[in-house]
Amino acid sequence: MKMERLLTRSSAQLGKNELVRIKARAMRRGVWFRVLTRAERAQIELTTRVVKRIRSFFLARVLTAIVEKLLDAMESKVMRLMREVGPVLARKLSRTAQKWGNNSAEGWPQDSGFIQYLIIMHLNKP
C-alpha cells in the first residue's frame, strides 16, 4: 500500500483490518520494534483490539502519524531514491539532451521508468 493512498483515506476507512495488515508487514520487515516506541506500539495494539472502525478525528490523526512513520521505514531504498534523487538526475540529463537537440528529452523528468533506470545505474556505480 502506498503512503499517499493511506493518508488520503478518510478516518472511517482506516480500521482494524488495515492496521493489522500494516503491523504484519512491519513485523515481517523488522521495523515494528526498531522504529516505533513502546507507546506507539501499544496505541496500535489497543486500537486493533478495541475499535472496529475509527471515528475519532484525534485518534485517526495519532494513528496516521504512527502509520506514516512505519511506511517511511518500510519504503525500499530504490523507491526512496526515486522520489528524492531521481527527478534531479533526470532534469540534469534532460537539459543536456535538449541542448544537444533531442526535443523528446523534455518528458524525461516525469518518466518513472527512466528515473528508476537512473537510480539503479546510480546504485550500481562502483
Residues 37 and 85 in one domain: no
Residue 8 shares a structural domain with residue 69: yes
Q: For the chain, how many structural domains are there in total?
A: 2
> 9 and 69 share a domain?
yes
The pLDDT assigned to 13 comes to: 64
Q: What is the pLDDT of residue 16?
A: 86
pLDDT (0 to 100) of residue 48: 92
**Each residue's pLDDT tens digit, 66-91:** 999 999 899 888 888 888 889 999 99
Bridge partners, residue 31, by sequence? none
pLDDT above 80: residue 10:
no
Give bridge partners of residue 15 from the DSSP assignment: 53
With a cut of 70, say whether residue 25 has pLDDT above it: yes
Are 21 and 60 part of one and the same domain? yes
Q: Are residues 46 and 84 in the same domain?
A: no
Cβ contacts of 84-91, under 8 Å, gap ≥ 24: 85/119, 85/122, 86/115, 86/116, 86/118, 86/119, 87/115, 89/115, 89/118, 89/119, 89/122, 90/114, 90/115, 90/118
Same domain, 67 and 105: no
Mean pLDDT over each residue of the chain, to the nearest integer = 86
pLDDT at residue number 4 = 44
* pTM reported for the whole predicted model: 0.63
Q: Let me know whether 33 and 93 are in one domain.
A: no
> Which domain covers residue 42, as residue numbers?
3-75
Q: Residues 50, 112: one domain? A: no
Question: Would the pLDDT of 126 be above 50?
Answer: yes
The mean per-residue pLDDT over the stretch 21-40 comes to: 94
